C-alpha cells in the first residue's frame, strides 16, 4: 500500500521530538512541503495530516460516523472524564441533547447582559499607564463570565487559584500525551503530583457548586440545573455527581479558556495594527457612545466581529483536531487504514495562501460577506464541524464580540517593549510568556 509523502520518520519516535518542540510550525512546514495529505508517525501512532477543505469536510461532516476521537484526546479523560469533549456515541449524543438547551438562541441573549456587566467590572479595575498581563486578565474575566452565566456562581475571588490550577493542568497535560503515559501517571513523579493537585483543585470548585445546588434543590434555569435535573429517556434516573462533574468541568474549562486565548491574541494583533484599532474605536464610538454594548448591538458591530474572526484565523485557540478512522478511508487517492489518526489543523489551513492571500497579514477585511462567500466552508473552522462542532460556538462569538467591544470602548493596550511574544501549543494555543501590555485610557 502506497502511503502519502511526508517527513522522514526516525526509528521508534517518528516525528515526536519535532512535534513536541513546536507542533503548529511542524504541521505548517509539512503542509507546505508535502501538500494536502502527508504521512508521519508520532511514536507508534500512524498519522495522516490533511490540509484541504474538502477532505476536512469529509472527515468532520460527510463521513463523520466513520471516525472517533483520536487516541490523544481520549487520553484527556484522565482530566475530563466522560464529558462532551471526550465521550463517544451513544453517550455523547445523549449528553449533548441534555446540554444543548443551555445554548439555545433565546438563552444566549440573556447571557449577554452578564457578559457586559463583567466587562464593565474588569475595565474599572485598571489604571492608565498600568502594566498588565492581558493573558491573565482575560482568563480571569472569561472564567467569571462562564461561572455566572452557566453555573450562576461567582468565582471572581477564586479566579487566581483556579486559573493557576488550570495552567498547571494544561502544561502537564503534555506528559499525558507521551507514549507509556498510563505508566508514568502511576509513578510518584513531581509532575504527576502537580497534575493531581491541580485536578483536585478544579474538582473542589465543581463539586462544591454541585453540592450547593443539590442542597438548595432550586432550578435556576442554568446549565447546572439542567444537568442536575436531567432524566434519561427511560425516566430511570438522573446523572450521578461524577457525570455532572465531567460535563460541568468540560464546559467550565473549554467555555472560558478558548475565548480568553482568542481575546489575548486579539489585543496583541490590535496593538500591532493601529489602522484596524482606530477603525474599531470609530465603530464603537458611533454605535455605542458611552453605554455598554448589548446583544441587540451585535448586528451594528460588524467590524468588531471581523477583528475577532481574523484574530481566530491567525491564532485559533483549538489549533489541531484529531480523529481515528474506524474503517479504511480514502482521501486524495490514498487509503488511510483503520485505527490511523487523521489530523487537521485550523492553524495551518487558516494560513493557506490559496484561501487567504498574504496569510500572515492581519486583515479584518477578509471577513466581509463578499470575501467569505468566495472561500470553501472548511478553509476556516476554529470550532470544528459536524455533529461534534463546539456546542458553545454561539456563546463564544457573542462573548468575544461583547467583551472586545466593552473593553475597547475605554481602553487600548500597547505591548511592553521587548516582551517576547510566542505561542505554546497545549490543548489550546496559549501565549508562551503571557502578554505584558500597558493599558492606555481612551
Across the chain, mean pLDDT equals 88
Residue 104 pLDDT > 80, yes or no?
A: no
Report the distance separating Cα 375 and Cα 307, nearest Å. 18
Please indicate whether residue 185 or residue 357 has the higher confidence score (pLDDT): 357
pLDDT at position 110 is 83
Phi, psi of 46 (to 5 degrees): -90, 120
pLDDT at position 76 is 66
Domain 16-441 has CATH 1.10.630.10: yes
Mean pLDDT lowest for which of 44-58, 217-231, 422-436?
217-231
pLDDT at position 163 is 76
pLDDT at position 288 is 96
Half-sphere exposure of 98 (CA within 13 A, CB side): 25
Residue 362 pLDDT > 70, yes or no?
A: yes
pLDDT at position 227 is 82
Residue 233 pLDDT > 60, yes or no?
A: no
Render pLDDT for 90-102 as a digit per residue (tens, 0 to 9): 777 777 777 777 7
Q: Tell me the DSSP string of 274-330.
A: HHHHHHHHHHHHHHHTTSPP-GGGGGG-HHHHHHHHHHHHHS-SS--EEEEESS-EE
Please indicate whether residue 261 or residue 219 has the higher confidence score (pLDDT): 261
Q: What is the mean pLDDT of residues 13-23?
A: 92
Q: What is the mean pLDDT of residues 181-197?
A: 69
Render pLDDT for 34-80 as a digit per residue (tens, 0 to 9): 999 999 999 888 999 999 999 999 999 999 999 987 666 666 666 67
Report the distance separating Cα 87 and Cα 55, nearest Å. 24
Mean pLDDT lowest for which of 330-334, 386-390, 437-441?
386-390
Of 29, 146, 83, 131, nearest in space to 435 by CA: 131
For residue 110, the Cα-to-chain-centroid distance in whole angstroms is: 22
Q: Tell me the DSSP string of 100-157.
A: GGGGSHHHHHHHHHHHHHHHHHHHHH--TT-EEEHHHHHHHHHHHHHHHHHH----GG
Domain ranges of the chain: 16-441
Phi, psi of 330 (to 5 degrees): -105, 135
pLDDT at position 402 is 96
Contact criterion met (CB below 8 Å) for 432 and 420: yes
Residue 212 pLDDT > 90, yes or no?
A: no
pLDDT at position 185 is 59
Amino acid at each position: 500500500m502506497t502511503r502519502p509523502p511526508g517527513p522522514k520518520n526516525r526509528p521508534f519516535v517518528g516525528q515526536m521530538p519535532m512535534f513536541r518542540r513546536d507542533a503548529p510550525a511542524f504541521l505548517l512546514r509539512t503542509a507546505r512541503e508535502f501538500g494536502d495529505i502527508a504521512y508521519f508517525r508520532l511514536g507508534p501512532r500512524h498519522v495522516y495530516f490533511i490540509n484541504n477543505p474538502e477532505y476536512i469536510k469529509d472527515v468532520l461532516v460527510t463521513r463523520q460516523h466513520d471516525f472517533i476521537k483520536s487516541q490523544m484526546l481520549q487520553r484527556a479523560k484522565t482530566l475530563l472524564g466522560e464529558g462532551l469533549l471526550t465521550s463517544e456515541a451513544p453517550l455523547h449524543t445523549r449528553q449533548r441533547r441534555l446540554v444543548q438547551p443551555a445554548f439555545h438562541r433565546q438563552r444566549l441573549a440573556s447571557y449577554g447582559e452578564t457578559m457586559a456587566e463583567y466587562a464593565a467590572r474588569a475595565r474599572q479595575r485598571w489604571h492608565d499607564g498600568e502594566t498588565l498581563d492581558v493573558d491573565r486578565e482575560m482568563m480571569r474575566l472569561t472564567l467569571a463570565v462562564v461561572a455566572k452565566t452557566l453555573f450562576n456562581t461567582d468565582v471572581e475571588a477564586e479566579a487566581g487559584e483556579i486559573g493557576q490550577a488550570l495552567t498547571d493542568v494544561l502544561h502537564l497535560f503534555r506528559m499525558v500525551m507521551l507514549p507509556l503515559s498510563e505508566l508514568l501517571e502511576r509513578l510518584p513523579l513531581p509532575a504527576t503530583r502537580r497534575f493531581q493537585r491541580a485536578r483536585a483543585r478544579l474538582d473542589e470548585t465543581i463539586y462544591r457548586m454541585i453540592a450547593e445546588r443539590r442542597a438548595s434543590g432550586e432550578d435556576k434555569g442554568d446549565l447546572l440545573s439542567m444537568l442536575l435535573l436531567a432524566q434519561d429517556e427511560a425516566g430511570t434516573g438522573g446523572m450521578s455527581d461524577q457525570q455532572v462533574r465531567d460535563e460541568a468541568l468540560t464546559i467550565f474549562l473549554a467555555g472560558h479558556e478558548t475565548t480568553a486565548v482568542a481575546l489575548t491574541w486579539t489585543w496583541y494583533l490590535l496593538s500591532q495594527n493601529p489602522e484596524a484599532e482606530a477603525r474599531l474605536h470609530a465603530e464603537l464610538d458611533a454605535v455605542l457612545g458611552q453605554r455598554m454594548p448589548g446583544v441587540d448591538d451585535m448586528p451594528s458591530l460588524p467590524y468588531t466581529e471581523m477583528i475577532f474572526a481574523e484574530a481566530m484565523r491567525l491564532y485559533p485557540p483549538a489549533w489541531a483536531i484529531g480523529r481515528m478512522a474506524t474503517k479504511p478511508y480514502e482521501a486524495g487517492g490514498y487509503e488511510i487504514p483503520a485505527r490511523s489518526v487523521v489530523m487537521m489543523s485550523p492553524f495551518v489551513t487558516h494560513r493557506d495562501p490559496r484561501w487567504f492571500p498574504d496569510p500572515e497579514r492581519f486583515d479584518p477585511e477578509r471577513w466581509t460577506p463578499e470575501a467569505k462567500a468566495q472561500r470553501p466552508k472548511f478553509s476556516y473552522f476554529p470550532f470544528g464541524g459536524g455533529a461534534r462542532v463546539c456546542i458553545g460556538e454561539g456563546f463564544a462569538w457573542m462573548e468575544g464580540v461583547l467583551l472586545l467591544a466593552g473593553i475597547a470602548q475605554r481602553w487600548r493596550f500597547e505591548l511592553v517593549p521587548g516582551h517576547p511574544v510566542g505561542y505554546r501549543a497545549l490543548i489550546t494555543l496559549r501565549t508562551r510568556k503571557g502578554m505584558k501590555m500597558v493599558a492606555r485610557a481612551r
